[in-house]
A = this chain, B = another copy of it.
Amino acid sequence: MEYSAKQLQIIAVAEKLFSKKGFEGTSVRDIAEVAEVNVSMISYYFGSKDKLIEALFELRITESRLRIEHILLLEDLTPLQKVNIMIDSTVDRLIDNEQFQKIMMREQLSSERTTIVSKYIRDMKIRNSELMKRLITEGQEAGYFRKNIDMSLLSITLYGTIHHAIATQDYYKTLNNIEHLSGEEFRSFLKMRLKRHLKSLFKSAVFNENHT
């Protein structure tokens, strides 16, 4: 699907407000006001509020799919280097899409209804899982990594840690006495710390034999 400049503007505003106040907590009038368009333009362009968030998901998830597939092309690297690149790239991707990640976190919590949005999320999770599985299996078959690695929990730690860092970033700032940092300064600080932390955790997890 192609979107006009005005449609992209509405989607951007919707993303901002949904991430701040949630989907149900944001009215189409809120969006229209911030986007400086008439209320009816949202139905006119997207059909409904539900279709608007579907458009947002289609747009953002298509974007990030490209970034994931890029990693599969890596060659001439050790298994650990590939895993490290995967971690770096995941941290960058999620932190750079903070607002959309917040929306996704909320959507993951709302079980029950199987919507188009939940389909998007599931497809993306499958892709992420397959990437990690491929990287780790490669390392195991090459004799580098240990055998009994719990890939699904390792994946949950990767995404859970980054998501939780996003969700509690204000508290993280106060804990580390870095309230003075600007948004962009803090974001690169957090990326750096997260990458180091997660790579260190993963390194132990794929090499050490300290499971019971």
Tell which of A6-14, A38-46, A71-79, A156-164 binds the partner. A156-164
**How does the 8 Å CB contact mask read for A161-185 relative to B, with 1 for contact and 0 for none?**
1111101101110011000000000
Determine the chain B residues whose CB is within 8 A of the CB of A106 once the complex forms.
22, 106, 109
Known: A161-B161, A164-B156, A175-B129. A200 touches B196 (CB 8 A): no
Q: Is the interface of A mostly helix, strand, loop or mixed?
A: helix
CB pair A105 B167 closer than 8 Å = yes
Tell which of A57-65, A134-142, A201-209 binds the partner. A201-209
Determine the chain B residues whose CB is within 8 A of the CB of A21 once the complex forms.
110, 112
CB pair A22 B204 closer than 8 Å = no
- Nearest Cβ distance between residue A107 and chain B, in whole angstroms? 10
Interface size class of A (residues with CB under 8 A): 35 or more
Of residues 118 through 143 on chain A, the ones whose CB sits less than 8 Å from some CB of chain B are 122, 125, 129
Interface-central residue, A111, A129, A196, A203, by most chain B CB under 10 Å: A111
- Nearest Cβ distance between residue A187 and chain B, in whole angstroms? 15
Number of copies of this chain that the complex holds: 2
Complex alpha-carbon distance, A129 and B14, angstroms:
34
Does residue A4 face the partner (Cβ distance < 8 Å to B)?
A: no
Complex alpha-carbon distance, A101 and B88, angstroms:
29
Chain B, Cβ-Cβ closest to A25: B24
Does residue A194 face the partner (Cβ distance < 8 Å to B)?
A: yes
- Nearest Cβ distance between residue A109 and chain B, in whole angstroms? 5
Does residue A152 face the partner (Cβ distance < 8 Å to B)?
A: yes
Determine the chain B residues whose CB is within 8 A of the CB of A150 once the complex forms.
193, 197
Does residue A1 face the partner (Cβ distance < 8 Å to B)?
A: no
- Nearest Cβ distance between residue A162 and chain B, in whole angstroms? 8
CB pair B111 A105 closer than 8 Å = no
Interface-central residue, A108, A109, A165, A205, by most chain B CB under 10 Å: A109
Instruction: Taking A122-B171, A152-B172 as given, write out 16 further A-B residue pairs in contact, using a Cβ cutoff of 8 Å, ordered by the A residue number.
Output: A20-B110, A21-B110, A21-B112, A22-B24, A22-B109, A25-B110, A105-B167, A109-B167, A111-B170, A153-B194, A156-B161, A156-B168, A160-B160, A164-B164, A196-B211, A203-B210
